[in-house]
Structure 1
Amino acid sequence: MSQTLCHPPRQEEQLVVTTLVTNGFLQLGLRAVLSTAPLVSEVRHCGDWNEVEDALCAGRVDVLFLHEDDYVPDRGAPFDALRRRAKVLLLLSSPEIPEEIITGSTVPDGFLVGSELTPSAVEEALQRTVAGEVPMPTSLTRSLLHRVRDPGPHRWQRDVSLTGRENEVLLLLAEGLSNKQIARRLGISSHGVKRIVASLLLKLGAPNRTAAVVTAIQSGLIAC
Structure 2
Amino acid sequence: MSRVACGTPALGGQLVVTTLVRDGVLQLGLRAVLATASVVSEVTHCENWDEVEVALRSSPVDILFLHESDYSSDCGVPDDVRGLRPKILLLLSDTGLDENILAGPFPPDGFLVQGELTAAAVEDALQRMAGGEVPMPASLARVLLERASGPGRIRQRRDAALTRRENEVLLLLAEGLSNKQIARRLKISSHGAKRIVASLLLKLGAPNRTAAVVTAIQMGLIMH
**Same fold by TM-score greater than 0.5:** yes
2:182 — aligned with what? 182
1:24, CA displacement in angstroms? Answer: 2.0
Conserved in 2, the CA contact under 8 Å of 1:20 and 1:45?
Answer: yes
Please state how far the C-alpha of 1:90 moved relative to its aligned partner. 0.2
> Which ranges in structure 2 are unaligned for 5 or more consecutive residues?
none
Task: Please give the residue correspondences for 1:43-82 in structure 2 after superposition, counting only pairs within 5 Å.
Answer: 43-77=43-77, 80=79
Q: C-alpha distance in 1, partners of 2:133/2:162? A: 20
Q: Distance in 2 between matches of 1:70 and 1:17?
A: 16
What secondary structure sits across from 1:66 in the alignment? strand
CA 113–9 in structure 1, closer or farther in 2 if over 3 Å, else same: closer
Q: Secondary structure at the match of 1:44?
A: strand
Residues 119/214 of structure 1: CA separation in 2 closer, same or farther (3 Å cut)? same
The answer for unaligned runs of 5 or more in structure 1 is none
For 1:44-193, list aligned pairs within 5 A: 44-77=44-77, 80=79, 84-150=84-150, 152-193=152-193
Q: Partner residue of 1:23?
A: 23
CA RMSD of aligned residues (A): 1.8
Equivalent in the alignment of 1:6: 5
Deviation (angstroms), 1:110: 0.5
* TM value normalised by structure 2: 0.91
Matching residue's letter, 2:71: Y
1:210 to 2:213 alignment:
no
Cα deviation digits, residues 113-153 of structure 1 (max 9, x gap):
11211110101111111111111112211112111222635
Give the number of aligned pairs: 221
TM-score, length of structure 1 as denominator length: 0.91
Secondary structure class of the residue paired with 1:212: helix
Alpha-carbon distance change, 136 to 153 in structure 1, aligned in 2, over 3 angstroms: closer
Structure 1 residue 40: Cα displacement: 0.9
Instruction: Give the aligned residue type for 1:72.
Output: S
Counterparts of 1:154 and 1:28, CA distance in 2: 43
Percentage of identical aligned residues: 65
Say if 1:183 and 1:193, in contact at 8 Å, map to a contact too.
Answer: yes
2:166–2:196 CA contact under 8 A, matched in 1: yes
Q: Which amino acid aligns with 2:197?
A: V
